Structure 1
Amino acid sequence: MRVVLAAMQREYTAKLADYLREEEPNWDIAAFTHESALRRELQGSGVIDLLIGQIDMLLEVASLSDRVGKIVALVEERDKNRGGKWQEVVQYQPLPAILSGIRGGLSGGNVLPDSSCQVVTLFSASGGVGKTTVALNLIRQAGERGVRTFYLNLEALNATSLLFGKGEPDSLSRLLYSLQAYPEKWGEMLKELCRHQPQLRTDYLDATDHPGERLALTSELMMTFIEGLKATGKYDLIVIDPDSGAGDWHCSLVQMSDRVIWLTADDAQLMLKTEKLLNHWHNKLGENMSKIIFALNKGNGSMVNRWNLPGGKPSATLPYIPQWKTVDQPGRLLGSPAYCGAVEQLLALLRIESSTVNTKRRREEGHGIQRSHIRGAC
């Protein structure tokens, strides 16, 4: 297949071209960094099966597009206002994610790197509801079913070092920098900074000491980061644990997740905040409302307050475990039979079942029995 790659940054173009040649040996790839040279190539003889290029360069040669089979545009961020003229792939992201997007453009399908990996976000309109506790129990029980998991805490004030220990506090910032400046090295950086927690059977990143790292995270960079995780092919389930908020960043996370477990409690103020936030996001969420599972955490028998949220009642109720208020070790958050039963109900709602994965293969290829240390490599 004859492929032409066009981007103005010489180093970026060379690295992407080398990667594509390595991963797709049957592609005959020619790379260009100047519009004039690209134009001469398109005017030459022979059909070009695939043109991959930055928007500015594609516009310069738009009159010659009839000589090209497929076109994939490299963009800084996707824009619905461009009308879908070309398949768009975000250019500054891990190289496997770029290639996955290009392949999606060839097939005319979705450019998401790996549709078999499910992204589940734990969300709440206010803090203190127990998102992290639910997330860790969800991950543990999914791991017991042979599901390969990644836990991504995106709280500005991340206290998971109490549970996992203090490691590399700059993990997130280093990965985000690599994602933008050296996307070809992102996979190596992820492998270096990723940790494994054997009790929870999950991979994760160390908690940051700097709230500014998360506060500086844009919606587009967040989506690129998550797509990069999916593109590794190492995970069946990514569980995201953000802080609470009503900003565009939070709404984008809800929109891009496959499923959202929206936690609330039997508390009048929290219920009212939840209603207000849902009303605020009503137009933005639209059909995404169908992916939200509303769950009551810290339940204690029948509710005192009226349930005014969608569904008429909680889809799941998780019990209150008062002993967990002082817990500083992961294993102590996992020992309640009642809570485990409620999490099983959540897993059923998410359709995460052991029958959906090959348990033995997942454990051998994913986290592996040989990993006996919390700080094991990814």
Structure 2
Amino acid sequence: MAKRVILAMRQHEYVAKLAQYLREEEPAWAISAFTHEEALHRELQNGRVFDVWIAELAMLLELSEFSSGNSKAVALVEEIGTGRGEWLEIQQYQPLPALLAHIRSALAGPVSVSPSGCRIVSLFSASGGAGKTTAALNLVRQAGERGFRTFYLNLETLNATASFFGKGEPDSLSRLLYSLQAHPDNGVEHFERFCRHHSQLRTHYIDAPDHPGERLALTPILLESLLEGLRSTGRFDLIIIDPDSGAGDWHMKLLDLSDQVVWLTADDAQSFAKADKLLRYWQGQSSMKLDKVLFVMNRARHEASRQCTLPGGSPAAILPYIPEWKTVDQLGRLLGSPAFCGAIDMLLDQLNIVIRAPNAGRRKEGEHNGTDRAHVRGTG
């Protein structure tokens, strides 16, 4: 179905360039461009149907009788977080392909987010070996590049990420859970003690345990306490969770608590059958809603198989197979595949994890010589 998009910006050159680009990339869209409040006011007053209205913040404020509380209104802002929290925000000055990705996300509809503003995205699979950890680490790193304050939480019974993060303090999780139960009002202090930061991944994390007993002792109550504690710190915008492929009570609780679930599967009949069976079981046991689940095929060597039996009939995204990763034990090599990074970028767009703020280095450079914004404005 054709989408009707309204663009509203006082800068004639900006609106013309963006409208032309959208018409070239999305010929099925009906694009209407406005540079004056009066003309846009008449358009809105006439009650014509549209799918999304993307406007500079000043015009949204000027036409607040239409924009306030309107889920179809999107604010174009110079820096994310300046739009008063009333509308979805898109950073105005950035490459046109990135702008298009964000507009597509806006057209896809709102995403359920926890009241705290911190989103939980869990990666899951019905069987082992689906590549959850590699996908999770790439998601964390690229979400960090988009300006999100991230936390990576590995909940695998046998956690091998120490080869990437270092051994650290292997009893960190058990000590943190004990502290949260014994002194629940001191959550921020507890996380300051046990959380570490990884500069290459641009994320915080907890050291992996040496013994699987710590993970096996995890209960739904402990899990909920841990996630509530993470959210209550106010330090994170996004928590990426990497569990094992179990089917226990805390796994079910995790999916219920997650804002979104990336369910990984391989392109073979056994993987599809296991995913379908586990999904049916959980739908009968919990309140998990399918609209927050994205089924993603990982390690794909070709197009999605016709034998896929998952909801929707085909994967929402496809992550490529990288043969060089068979023997990789260095984190940098897992983050350096252009093909995989491109697929993760598209997956982030589908998850509506859009760019929140300019990269700090680029912002600093732009403040010194003014080249950053000029470059973005002229990027096609």
Match of 1:40 in 2: none
> Secondary structure, in 3 states, of the residue corresponding to 2:245?
coil
What are the superposed Cα offsets for residues 81-114 of structure 1, whole Å, 9 maximum, x if unpaired? Answer: xxxxxxxxxxxxxxxxxxxxxxxxxxxxxxx985
> Secondary structure, in 3 states, of the residue corresponding to 2:296?
strand
For residue 302 of structure 1, report the CA deviation from its aligned partner. 2.5
Residues 149 and 202, structure 1, Cα contact 8 Å, conserved in 2: yes
Residues 142 and 345, structure 2, Cα contact 8 Å, conserved in 1: yes
Count of residues in Structure 1 that have an aligned counterpart in Structure 2: 251
Match of 1:265 in 2: 266
For residue 177 of structure 1, report the CA deviation from its aligned partner. 0.6
Moved more, 255-264 or 277-286: 277-286
> Secondary structure, in 3 states, of the residue corresponding to 2:302?
coil
Paired with 2:167 and 2:159, the residues of 1 have a C-alpha distance of 11
Paired with 2:304 and 2:132, the residues of 1 have a C-alpha distance of 20
Paired with 1:285 and 1:316, the residues of 2 have a C-alpha distance of 25
Matches for 1:2-151 after TM superposition, within 5 Å: 114-151=115-152
User: Which consecutive residues of structure 1, in runs of 5 or more, have no partner in the other structure?
Assistant: 1-111, 365-378
Residues 113 and 230, structure 1, Cα contact 8 Å, conserved in 2: no
For residue 286 of structure 1, report the CA deviation from its aligned partner. 4.6
Match of 1:219 in 2: 220
Match of 1:206 in 2: 207
Residues 114 and 230, structure 1, Cα contact 8 Å, conserved in 2: no
Residues 256 and 287, structure 2, Cα contact 8 Å, conserved in 1: no
> Secondary structure, in 3 states, of the residue corresponding to 1:281?
helix
> Secondary structure, in 3 states, of the residue corresponding to 1:128?
coil
Moved more, 182-191 or 193-202: 182-191
Match of 1:311 in 2: 312
Paired with 2:216 and 2:242, the residues of 1 have a C-alpha distance of 15
Give the TM-score of the pair, scaled to structure 1. Answer: 0.63
Match of 2:174 in 1: 173
For residue 131 of structure 1, report the CA deviation from its aligned partner. 0.2
Give the TM-score of the pair, scaled to structure 2. Answer: 0.63
One-letter amino acid of the structure 1 residue matched with residue 262 of structure 2 = I
Match of 1:237 in 2: 238
Paired with 1:282 and 1:178, the residues of 2 have a C-alpha distance of 34
Pick closer, same or farther for the CA change 1:170–1:199 going to 2, 3 Å.
Answer: same
> Secondary structure, in 3 states, of the residue corresponding to 1:223?
helix
What are the superposed Cα offsets for residues 126-162 of structure 1, whole Å, 9 maximum, x if unpaired? Answer: 1110000000000111111111100000111111001
User: Which consecutive residues of structure 2, in runs of 5 or more, have no partner in the other structure?
Assistant: 1-112, 365-380
Pick closer, same or farther for the CA change 1:169–1:191 going to 2, 3 Å.
Answer: same
**Structure 1 outlier segments of 4+, above 4 Å:** 357-361
For residue 269 of structure 1, report the CA deviation from its aligned partner. 1.5
- The alignment status of 1:254 with 2:249, answered yes or no, reads no
Match of 2:335 in 1: 334
Paired with 1:124 and 1:194, the residues of 2 have a C-alpha distance of 26
Residues 166 and 207, structure 1, Cα contact 8 Å, conserved in 2: yes
Paired with 1:115 and 1:322, the residues of 2 have a C-alpha distance of 40
For residue 359 of structure 1, report the CA deviation from its aligned partner. 5.2
Identity across matched positions, percent: 60
